[in-house]
Amino acid sequence: MEDAIKKPIEDFSAAWLERSGEKMAMCFTDDAHFVSFDGTRLTGGKAIGDWHQPSLDTVLRKTTMHTEIDEIRMLTPDLALVIGHGGPLDEHGSEKSRLIGDSYVTFMVRHVESGEWKISMLQVTRRRSITGPGTAAIWQAYNFAWFGEKAQ
C-alpha cells in the first residue's frame, strides 16, 4: 500500500519534469487544497496545474522536483498523512545547486473511487530558520521586497 500512496507524489515530480501542468493536475483530487511556499492558496487539481504551468514554462523550465518522504501515517484506511522535504533542483540536480531552498512538504493522500490514490492536500513551507538578528533582518527585507508595505 505504501507504494500506491507514494505514486501520486512521484507522478507530481514526473509531471514537473515533463513541464506539464495538465499531468500535474491529474495527481490531485478535484477538491484538493494547495498552499504554496509563498502563501498562494488554491483549490482543485486543475487550478493547481494551471498555476504551475507559467513557472514550468519559464523560471522552472530547467528544474527537477525532488521530494524525500520522511514518514507516512495512516489516518484512516483511505487517508494517509505524508510528511517529507525537498524542492526544485537546477538542471544539474545537485543538492548544492538547490534553487530556492529546501522545503517541508505535507501531503494528504486519499484513496478515491477509481481505486487510485491522489493528493488531496499539499502544504509547502520554506525551511529558513530565523536564528538571530541578522537572519531576522534578512526575513524582514525579503518580506518587504515581496509584499511591500503590506509586510509591515
Residue 139 has pLDDT above 70, yes or no: no
Q: Domain limits at 11?
A: 2-151
- Looking at every residue in the chain, the average pLDDT score rounds to 88
Q: What is the pLDDT of residue 108?
A: 98
Domain total of the chain:
1
Q: What is the pLDDT of residue 140?
A: 76
Q: Do residues 9 and 119 make contact, with C-beta atoms less than 8 angstroms apart? A: yes
Q: Which residues contact 85 (CB under 8 A, 6 or more apart)?
A: 67, 68, 70, 102, 103, 104, 105, 127
Across 67-96, b (16+ Cβ under 10 Å) vs e yields bebeebeeeeeebbebebebbbbeeeeeee
Residue 137 has pLDDT above 80, yes or no: no
Question: What percentage of the chain reaches a pLDDT higher than 70?
Answer: 85
pTM of the model: 0.82
Q: What is the pLDDT of residue 53?
A: 97
Q: Distance between CA atoms of 28 and 46, rounded to whole angstroms? A: 8
CATH number at residue 55: 3.10.450.50
Q: What is the pLDDT of residue 89?
A: 84
